[in-house]
Amino acid sequence: MQIPYFGVTVVAYVLAHGLTTMIITPVQARLLPEVTSFASLLYLPHGVRVLATWLLGRAAIPALCVGAFLSECIFADAGIGSASEPMVLISILIGAVAAPVAFELMRAFGFNLYAKERLRVHWKWLLLVGMLASVINSVGQSLVFSGVILSNWSAVVLVAYAVGDLFGLIATTLILMLVFRWLRADRARG
């Protein structure tokens, strides 16, 4: 992966995580405080994971890991101390590999959904692979945090991860679609 793509992916991840932490999480904490400490119901970084993997393939994994680690350092209450805990590092890795695993599973079934030279987007397929990545991430995160989550909340947290990832992907995709349309309209005018 070239350095600019790495940097853009890291910055996009940190920004998406920051928006989730600073805006979405406080609102959600008022509505569902029991779930909020584990999962966001609108997790924008999942959209970055899926779109970065779509564009960069498996090469997105290191940038996603760095973006997630920096996000933990910047936005977690305990800073770098919590970001370097083994449970958090495993969680970061699971989040980073969920989308590449989903893309590879789709490719194994004959659907190569990675971006080609022409960046023609098949949004429905991208959302489908994002849903699969969300399930992979949800199961992985639930396993990582199973010792921390009260057993009567584990199903709720699993669903919250899946819903948050999916809604985060949809929101990120819609935002990017609007940005792409704006750029095309601006290019056509100028």
Q: What is the pLDDT of residues 85-101, one digit of tens each?
A: 888 899 999 999 999 99
Query: Is-contact 2 59, C-beta < 8 A?
Result: no
Query: Is-contact 59 67, C-beta < 8 A?
Result: no
Q: Please report the pLDDT score of residue 141 as a whole number.
A: 82
Q: Please report the pLDDT score of residue 88 as a whole number.
A: 87
pTM here is 0.85
Residue 154 predicted with pLDDT over 70: no
Percent of the chain with pLDDT over 90: 42
**What's the domain range around 26?**
3-189
Please provide the average confidence, as pLDDT, over all residues in the chain.
84
Q: What's 185's domain CATH number?
A: 1.10.1760
Domain count, the chain: 1
